[in-house]
Amino acid sequence: MQAAYESSMEIMNMMVGMMAVFSILMIVVVLYNSGVLSFRERVKEFATLKVLGLRSSKIRRILSMQNLWLSIIGILIGAPLGNVSLNAMIKTNGENFDYNLSLAPVDYIIAGILVMTISMLVSFMFSKRIRKLDMVEILKGVE
């Protein structure tokens, strides 16, 4: 009986680990795609700021702070909504769900730190592109 329990828990831990890896991968993909779209939409804005004399480092700082605040807002809204959706999923399973689910505050903190770290890495990747902007080409009107 003990061996069956340990085998079951080993499989469960592997599944949880795989879900964690896929969650991290999904965070990276979503934030990267969001960054690509945001950067492409704002290229003219960045070029205009550079023409007006703002240094690339200042523009990078502005971009990083905007991404930081958006991530914080997303975490503050997403954590309670995630908890509500988790409870709704548990209620739909009813009596068939035999596991006790509890999320400690440290779980939210770890998830928030993970999201913030990935967000800042993605922000850093795009902020390096600001230095390479060709202002003349970007701001040139359609002929």
Neighbouring CB atoms inside 10 A of 6's CB total 10
CB < 8 Å & 24+ apart, contacts of 103-108: 108/79
Following CA atoms 108, 110, 116, 119 in sequence, which dihedral angle do they give, to the nearest 10 degrees? Answer: -110
Q: Decide if pLDDT at 143 tops 60.
A: no
Distance of alpha carbon 137 from alpha carbon 105, whole angstroms: 50
Distance of alpha carbon 129 from alpha carbon 35, whole angstroms: 12
Distance of alpha carbon 31 from alpha carbon 5, whole angstroms: 39
Q: What are the structure tokens assigned to 84, written together?
A: 């509500």
Mean pLDDT, the chain, as a whole number? 85
Model confidence pLDDT, tens digit, residues 61-86: 888 888 889 889 999 999 999 889 88
Closest residue by Cα to residue 24 from 127, 119, 123, 126: 119
Model confidence pLDDT, tens digit, residues 10-50: 998 999 899 999 988 998 898 888 888 888 888 888 888 88
Q: What is the mean pLDDT of residues 114-132?
A: 85
Helices (H), the chain: 2-41, 43-51, 56-93, 105-130, 135-139
Q: What is the mean pLDDT of residues 130-141?
A: 78
